[in-house]
Amino acid sequence: MVKPKYTIAVTGLNNTDNPGPGVPVIRGLRESDTFDVRIIGLAYENLEPGIYMPNTADKIYQIPYPSAGGEAFIKKIEYIHSCEKLDCIIPNFDAELYTFMKNEKKLAQMGIKTFLPSIKQFEERHKANLPSFGKKYNINVPKSIAVTNISDLSNINDKFDFPVLVKGKFYDAYIVYNLEQLQYNFNKIASKWGVPVIIQEYIQGTEVNVVALGDGKGNTIGAVPMRKQYITDKGKAWGGITLDDEKMLEITRNLIKKTRWRGGMELEMIKTEDNKYFMIEINPRIPAWVYLANGAGQNLPEALVNLAMGINVEPYKTYKTGIMFIRYSYDLIGNISQFEKLNINGEL
Amino acid sequence: MEKLRYESPIINKVNAGMPDKFGMNVNTKPISYIDGVSVKDLLKDYGSPLFVLSEKTITETYNNSKRAFTSRYPKIQFAWSYKTNYLNAVCSLFHQLGSWAEVVSGFEYEKAIKNGIEGKHIIFNGPDKSKEDLIKASKNGSLIHIDHFDELYMLIEIADSIDETPKVAIRVNMDTGIFPQWDRFGFNYENGEAWNAINRIMISKKLNLVGLHCHIGTYMMSPSPYSVATKKLIDLALEIDHKYKHKIKYLDLGGGFASKNTLKGAYLPGTDTCPTFDDYADAITNVIINSQISPENLPTLILETGRALIDDAGYILGTVLANKRLASGRRATIIDIGVNMLFTSFWYEHEIFPAQQCSTQTEDTTIYGPLCMNIDVIRQAIQFPILQKGDNVVIKRIGAYNMTQWMQFITLRPKIILIDTESKAHIIRKNETNSVFENLEITPKYLKK
Amino acid sequence: MRLKKNIAISETGFIFNPSTGDSFTLNPIGIEILSFIENEKKYEEISDAILEKYDVDTITFEKNYYDFIQMLKNNHLLENE
Ligand SMILES: Cc1ncc(COP(=O)(O)O)c(C=O)c1O
């Protein structure tokens, strides 16, 4: 059988110490057994490493920030589509997902496939909505509230004991031990990611994560649990190892079944001393460590594209445990002329 | 040979960076016409700055929201929230479209009567109603929404003394899952105060409890708190029916629908994220229809929508006074629109457009108003084309609250124009003059020269 | 007034300053003016050329020109004199 060749656009090429999932997603796609790819990298900024990495994107376009609004975004995608004839787009930033979901129909009309959660699924798992999400789906979650105004923090003692976690709507999380630190970090997060800022009970335990893919009908197409072995000061995994943890898989399958989750997701949980699991975050997209799943035998980016293309995908049943990933940094050599081209033309 | 179109030379530093909030040029298209009327002509004829309201947009927005609700629920009544914009022309237009009046002071109440609205179609809200106000409203058969127990007892007294049975509702505040909770207005649901107030009213027999009211907040980014609020009001209505065999005639869900402006601190623009009238209507009406209230007793649903009905219809036009460089080299443009007339710039990132063709290149700019005050900032950071002194600008979506919360500071307030559906401009409020203010002041004789 | 010697301007309007590592973009008229400056033209000559070619009055251009020069200075692209 001849393999089809898809043109797939991918965002999140910021392979930094706070990495986006773009580059590992591309690696998965390039290793696909079922199709060949031409990769179009979509970049917001001019120094995202994935722009310059060899064997990564075949072509790069700059796209406007989600904060510029849906209209500017669609215009640029239309332009890129007219040059490249895209088959599929895989967005990889939380902050851009809303814009993609809102424009899912428009993209489909243009002939561009996506495989995204619905706005309802996206909204209800928002950090700010976690308590009601936990109640609805019967999952343990830490106590949390969404705060829009710093003056509302002054009576926080009535509701929480320190330490607490302060989290941005899309990114960033800090653990704070007193009101001053809380207010300081509130401002820091609010100025970067807007409000609300989430205040969350701190739960002691080990952080464990699952990368998973739901088919939108309640089936789990793939799921791999992992424990972070080393965490950077940004709270990102710098090394991790796949786990044999049936309980985590059960929580994942149950959640996907009840929510009929469509697309990639990352579940962040705390496993306490007494073996309880608390869901602390549900990220509505593939995480940056997804390549570990490849290593363990589940090519989730490939499966996601096949689902997007309307192809029936058999769920992965197994994965290897004890597989590790270790991130490393590496200095690429570039030239100012590449930088010039990208900045003047918006493509490379 | 014809000369080429000029734009000023620009040099922009390329910031190398990682994905973050700002950046990337947005191509700003100019707004040269409003409902077919040239912005330049308006400014020439009526002076700068200038407020402009579009009758067409008001009507379309109203009809759109009305459609969203009436297509889902049989008994809908809008009540124009005066505080949002109480220009008589605007109120009259809303009354013509079918809106009642929602007022929160004796001043607004008088205005509503002057605008020809019947007393029984005035909803009287707010914590500050004087005895005289309450007597007048009772006699006129207005709908008095009680805010606190002091008012409740005063009203019972009044009812006794004037031998009327005032028509009342109570304002209820509650936990709808939003933070912070607006608990300073009305009676709380969760702690039983609301139920307590209802019992006082029912047992007194002096007041006619016709409705239940809440206003859960303003600029509500999500429709779901409205479902919670509706549910709680219905629970109260059912309890009242159960205990007193008394049917509530209306539920008033207040205002609070978001306009498409972008809040300061929001990551995505309001045009992308704000719910539509249909979303809000769905959230509210589904709860009523699926409740235990029998179909023949369905209450009227009253909406006091303000902001979302008028924001889009308002523009403020102005003129560039000067360009300058700040110490950092950053570009600053000073316009003749200050925060004194654009109060909402304290919480919105207002969209601002040039009124004429301009350069496609933009520069990161701060836009200041003309007041001699440091807080007079219209936009802290905006990618903006370079305008020259005398060029005009248009700020969009400013119809709500600015024409009521504005301040007369240092200077006089400008004219307000309404453009009718045939593109004809009408002055609906004259500009202030020095004599307006001089007439109000009295200098003691011994201080006069 | 002179442009620093080692500054590279490409015809696309991209400027690279190798001594600081900064890069910049120019709009077309900015490129034009910068190349006048590169060729050590005086303000009067530049102004004449621009007024001849573009629809602009003397005062507006003068204001914009000196603003532009200020920005070149701010960005350390001119020789100190
Ligand atoms: C009681 C009441 N109703 C209605 C409104 C109008 O609200 P909005 O402009 O948010 O629709 C307000 C505004 O503060 C209000 O206090």
Give the range among A150-154, A239-243, B133-137, B234-238 with minimum mean pLDDT.
A150-154
- Does residue B20 register a pLDDT over 60? no
User: Residue A242 in 3-state DSSP?
Assistant: strand
Task: Please judge whether B179 and A196 are an interchain contact, meaning their C-beta atoms are less than 8 angstroms apart.
Answer: yes
Residue B84: per-residue pLDDT: 97
pLDDT digits (tens, 9 = 90+) for A198-230: 898 999 888 899 999 999 999 999 999 999 988
- Give contacts of C22 with chain B, Cβ < 8 Å: 13-14
> What's the average model confidence in pLDDT over B207-225?
93
* C23:A336 CB<8 A: yes
pLDDT at B185 over 80: yes
Per-residue pLDDT tens over the stretch B414-446: 999 999 999 999 999 999 999 999 999 999 999
Distance CA B336, CA B322 (A): 10
Give the tens place of pLDDT for each residue, C36-56: 988 889 999 999 999 999 999
Average pLDDT of chain A? 90
Residue B73 belongs to a domain: no
Question: A55 — phi, psi (to 5°)?
Answer: 55, 30
As a whole number of angstroms, the distance between CA A293 and CA A222 comes to 9
Distance of CA C6 to the CA centre of its chain: 15
Question: Atom 7 in ligand 1: which residue has the minimum CA distance?
Answer: B255
For residue B4, name the pLDDT band (cuts at 50, 70, 90).
confident
Same domain, B288 and B146: yes
Region B30-44 average pLDDT: 96
DSSP, collapsed to helix, strand or coil, labels residue A348 as coil
Residue B136 and residue B148 in contact, taking contact as beta carbons nearer than 8 Å: no
Candidates A101, A106, A81; CA nearest to A91 is A101
Single-letter code of the amino acid located at B20: D
Side by side, the strands of the sheet bearing C14-17 are: B11-13, C22-26, C14-17, C8-9
Tokens of B29: 């298209």
Confidence of residue A170 (pLDDT cuts 50, 70, 90): confident
The answer to whether residue B139 scores a pLDDT higher than 70 is yes
Q: Which residues pair with B366 in a beta bridge?
A: B332
Q: What's chain B's average pLDDT?
A: 92
What is the C-alpha separation between B378 and B343, in angstroms, rounded? 9
Give the torsion sign (CA, B134, B226, B173, B193): positive
pLDDT band at B90; cut points 50, 70, 90: very high
Same domain membership, residue B220 and residue B318: no
DSSP for A56-90, please give it. Answer: T-SEEEE---GGG-HHHHHHHHHHHHHHH--SEEE
SS3 B100: strand
Q: Give phi and psi for A294, each to the nearest 5.
A: -55, -50
Measured in Å, residue B254 CA sits from the centre of ligand 1 at 6
- Mean pLDDT of the region B5-31: 67
**Average pLDDT value for residue range A171-177:** 85
Q: Which residues pair with A200 in a beta bridge?
A: A144, A165
Portion 267-306 of B in contact with A at CB < 8 A? 267-269, 271-273
Residue A132 has pLDDT above 60, yes or no: yes
Pair (B162, B287) in one structural domain: yes
Q: Which secondary-structure segment (H or E) carries B122? A: strand B122-124
Q: What percent of chain A lies above the pLDDT cut of 70? A: 100
| Residue linked to tokens 């928002």 | A126
| pLDDT above 50 (res C14) | yes
DSSP A134: H
**Residue B51 structure tokens:** 């407020």
Q: pLDDT digits over B304-347, tens only?
A: 999 999 999 999 999 999 999 998 888 999 999 999 999 999 98
As a whole number of angstroms, the distance between CA A129 and CA A194 comes to: 16
B157 with B48, same domain?
Answer: no
With a cut of 80, say whether residue A1 has pLDDT above it: no
Q: Is residue B260 scored above 80 in pLDDT? A: yes
Q: Which two tokens stand for residue A112?
A: 């561009």
pLDDT at residue A72, rounded to an integer: 85
Determine contact, residues A296/A32, Cβ cutoff 8 Å: no
Asked if residue B250 has pLDDT above 70, the reply is yes
Would you say the CB of residue B306 lies under 6 angstroms from ligand 1? yes
CB B283 within 8 A of CB B227: yes
Q: Which residues pair with A230 in a beta bridge?
A: A239
Are the C-beta atoms of residues B366 and B330 closer than 8 Å to each other? yes
- By the 10 Å C-beta count (0-12 exposed, 13-18 middle, 19+ buried), A8 is classed as buried
Tell me, yes or no, whether B288 and B370 share the same domain.
no
Q: What is the spatial distance between Cα B20 and Cα B22, in angstroms, rounded to a whole number?
A: 6
Span B278-300, pLDDT tens digits: 999 999 999 999 999 999 999 99
Q: Is B255 helix (H, G, I), strand (E, B) or coil?
A: coil
The pLDDT of B396-411, averaged and rounded, is 95
Cα(B224)–Cα(A252) distance, integer angstroms: 26
Contact B195, B236 (CB under 8 A): yes
How many residues belong to chain B?
449
**CATH number, domain containing residue B137:** 3.20.20.10
State the best of A10, A65, A96 to mutate against chain B, taking most chain B CBs within 10 Å: A65
- Who's near A197: CB < 8 A, 6+ residues apart? A146, A147, A148, A166, A167, A168, A169, A186, A189, A190
Is residue B393 over pLDDT 70? yes
What percent of chain A has pLDDT above 90?
55
Structure-model confidence comparison of residues B361 and B29, the more confident one? B29
Q: What is the CATH number of domain A5-115+331-345?
A: 3.40.50.20
How is domain A204-326 classified at the CATH fold level? D-amino Acid Aminotransferase; Chain A, domain 1 (3.30.470)
Gap from A72 CA to chain B (nearest CA, Å): 7
Residues B290, B421: one domain?
Answer: no
- The reply to whether A204-326 shares the fold of A5-115+331-345 is no
Q: Which residues pair with A9 in a beta bridge?
A: A40, A89
Nearest ligand 1 atom to alpha carbon B305: 11
Percent of chain B with pLDDT over 90: 80
**B115 within some domain:** no
A129 pLDDT higher than 70? yes
Cβ within 8 Å, pair A340-C14: yes
Give the gap in angstroms from C-alpha A341 to the nearest C-alpha of chain C: 9
Closest Cα in chain A, distance from residue C58 (Å): 30
Q: Percent of chain B at pLDDT above 70?
A: 96
**A112/A106 Cα distance (integer angstroms):** 9
Query: Is the same domain home to B174 and B263?
Result: yes
- Per the listing, tokens 């309001």 go with B270
Structural domain range at position B145: 125-305
Q: What angle do CA B165, B170, B173 make, to 5 degrees?
A: 175
Distance from CA of C22 to the nearest CA of A (A): 10
CATH code assigned at B351: 2.40.37.10
State the DSSP H helix or E strand holding residue B34, giving kind and residue range, or none if neither.
strand B33-34
Between the CA of B385 and the centroid of ligand 1 the distance, in Å, is 36
Q: Tell me what the mean pLDDT of segment B87-92 comes to.
A: 98
Q: Provide the residue ranges of all domains of chain A, joining segments of one domain with +.
A: 5-115+331-345, 143-201, 204-326
- Homologous superfamily (CATH) of A143-201 is ATP-grasp fold, A domain (3.30.1490.20)
Residue A333 per-residue DSSP state: -
Q: Please answer whether residues B143 and B169 qualify as being in contact, where contact means their C-beta atoms are separated by less than 8 angstroms.
A: yes
Per-residue pLDDT for B147 more than 70?
yes
Alpha-carbon distance of A26 to A41, in angstroms, equals 9
Q: B241 and B316 share a domain?
A: no
Contact B255, B303 (CB under 8 A): yes
The residue type at A234: K
Q: Categorize the per-residue pLDDT at B23 as very low, low, confident or very high, splitting at 50, 70 and 90.
A: very low
**Distance from the first to the final alpha carbon of chain C:** 7
Q: Give first-to-last CA distance, chain B, whole Å.
A: 65
Is the Cα dihedral A73, A74, A75, A76 positive or negative?
positive
Residue B319: the pLDDT is 97
Cβ atoms within 10 Å of B354's Cβ, excluding its own:
22
- Put simply, the answer to whether C53 touches B11 (Cβ < 8 Å) is no
**Cβ pair B61, B276 in contact under 8 A:** no
What does the radius of gyration of chain A's CA atoms come to, in whole angstroms? 20
Between the alpha carbon of residue A156 and those of residues A127, A183, A201, A290, B176, the distances in Å are 18, 11, 11, 37, 19
pLDDT class of A334 with cuts at 50, 70, 90: confident
d(CA A170, CA A188): 13
The predicted structure's pLDDT at residue B24 = 45
Rounded distance between C-alpha atoms, residue B299 and residue B210, angstroms: 10
Is the domain of B416 the same as that of B326? Answer: yes
Q: What is the mean pLDDT of residues B161-179?
A: 91
Query: Which residues 306-345 on chain A approach chain C with CB closer than 8 angstroms?
Result: 336, 339-340, 343-344
pLDDT at B1: 67
- Residue B22, chain A, CB below 8 Å: the answer is yes
pLDDT tens digits for A34-71? 999 999 999 988 889 999 999 999 999 999 888 788 88
Measure the CA–CA gap between B219 and B306, rounded to whole angstroms.
10
Would you say A23 and A50 are in contact if contact means Cβ atoms under 8 Å apart? yes
pLDDT value for B178: 75
The contacts of residue B9 (CB under 8 Å, 6+ apart) are C26, C27, C29, C30, C32, C33, C64, C65, C68
Residue B17: pLDDT band with limits 50, 70, 90: low
Q: Is the CB of B254 under 6 A from ligand 1?
A: yes
User: Which is nearest to B14 in space by CA: C8, A287, A189, C23?
Assistant: C23
